[in-house]
Amino acid sequence: MLAYIVRRLLLIIPTLLGILLLNFIIIQAAPGGPVEQMIAKLEGFDAATGGATSRISGGGAEAGAAGANYRGAQGLDPKLIEEIRVMYGFDKSAPERFWIMLKSYAQLDFGKSFFRDAQVTDLILEKMPVSISLGLWSTLIMYLISIPLGIAKATRHGSSFDVWTSSAIIVGYAIPAFLFAVLLIVLFAGGSYFSWFPSRGLTSNDFDELSLTGKMLDYFWHLALPITALVIGNFATLTFLTKNSFLDEIGKQYVVTARAKGLTQNRVLYGHVFRNAMLLIIAGFPSAFIGIFFTGSLLIEVIFSLDGLGLLGFEAAISRDYPVVFGTLFMFTLLGLVVKLIGDITYTLVDPRIDFDSREG
């Protein structure tokens, strides 16, 4: 096990390098880099229209932001344009910029945002509590609901309970989480009916003045609607996965043998079936957590005015804030790889018979 963990940890390094390199190459091919963005602002144009980019490219620009040549730009002094390129580091070649970025990341220095006047690390730490709150509680509640429900459906397969719950789950799966969020605001956050919950923010304005109990209640009061929207829109897959895993195990010979020996239903289900059926569920935990943590909560953050990592990464990509884009990408990828490793290690906690050394062999 220890040798396997060491190998996996060492494998994280080339994996991170490959992901950063691939995304760096893709970004170079994307039009409208930070230099174009700044020139467009200085010339009074919206960079999203691409008007300024077409005026300043001069026909001699390299694809994307890398190494762009702004000869022929109108309305701005070429010296000013060169100063902007130097300010954003685009006076250097793409390989040189990538190498400088890697050296900085090796020291966990993600640089400074182009447009926010703040260190990328500070921005990530500032937005992290919102994303952790949404991802952690949503995933936890989703598993607490889906696993017991999936087991109940498996043991009552074909019954009216199974049919009705399946219908409700499919309806929840068919409606996107952001539509549930809008509906919850309309119903319970002062939209048209009740004002039982806040519609924005993670805490109240007087949060610092509350007692410890008051802070906890205020925190969960603000999270109630966002987490409900995320859970309703995401727990269907896990529920059906749990049900199908248990159904597959229940039909195997060792279960028939255990029942023939006179073991009770609960003893068969939780003493024998549970350990084998849960392996597949555990395998999906990292992707479920990372999916809600980083991507699934983006629209929820926007709807409920929660300033988290999803919104930060989205705005950085739109504005071509490359230090923030690559800083968040590095953190997302690293955390995803670590969580995946933790998921593999958890296999052995559920079933000690698993031997990673023999699997590698």
| pLDDT score at 54 | 40
Q: Position 304: which residue type?
A: F
Mean pLDDT lowest for which of 37-46, 130-139, 141-150?
37-46
Domain ranges of the chain: 31-92, 120-360
For CA atoms 230, 233, 236, 237, give the dihedral sign.
Answer: negative
Backbone angles phi, psi at 30, to 5 degrees: -85, 130
Q: For 88-211, where are the alpha helices, taking DSSP H only?
A: 94-106, 120-155, 160-174, 177-188
pTM for this prediction: 0.69
Residue 176: per-residue pLDDT: 81
Cβ atoms of 274 and 148 within 8 Å: the answer is: no
Q: What DSSP line would sit under 155-190, residue for residue?
A: HTTTSHHHHHHHHHHHHHHHS-HHHHHHHHHHHHBS
Residue 44 is predicted with a pLDDT of 67
Structure tokens belonging to residue 48: 């999203």
In terms of pLDDT, which residue wins out, 135 or 221?
221
Q: Indicate if the pLDDT at residue 15 is higher than 60.
A: yes
Q: What is the spatial distance between Cα 40 and Cα 319, in angstroms, rounded to a whole number? A: 12
Residue 358: its pLDDT value, please?
A: 55
pLDDT at residue number 325: 85
Residues 6+ apart with CB under 8 A from 68: 33, 35, 36, 57, 61, 62, 85, 90
Q: What confidence category does residue 164 fall into, taking pLDDT thresholds of 50, 70 and 90? A: very high
If you average pLDDT over residues 319-343, what whole number do you get?
A: 82
Distance CA 172, CA 23 (A): 34
Choose the weakest-confidence range: 56-60, 124-128, 254-258.
Answer: 56-60
Query: Tens of pLDDT along 272-293?
Result: 787 777 777 776 666 666 666 6
- Mean pLDDT of the residues in the chain: 77
225 pLDDT exceeds 80? yes
Q: Is the pLDDT score of 124 beyond 80?
A: yes
Q: What is the pLDDT of residue 76?
A: 65
pLDDT tens digits, residue range 17-76?
Answer: 888 888 888 877 777 777 777 777 776 654 444 444 443 333 333 333 334 444 444 556
Sign of CA dihedral 245, 250, 253, 258: positive
Q: Domain spanning 120-360: which superfamily?
A: MetI-like (1.10.3720.10)
Task: Please give the pLDDT value at position 50.
Answer: 45
The least confident of 76-80, 147-151, 255-259 is 76-80
First to last CA, the chain: 13
CA angle 205, 209, 212 (to 5 degrees): 110
Predicted confidence at residue 70, as pLDDT, reads: 41
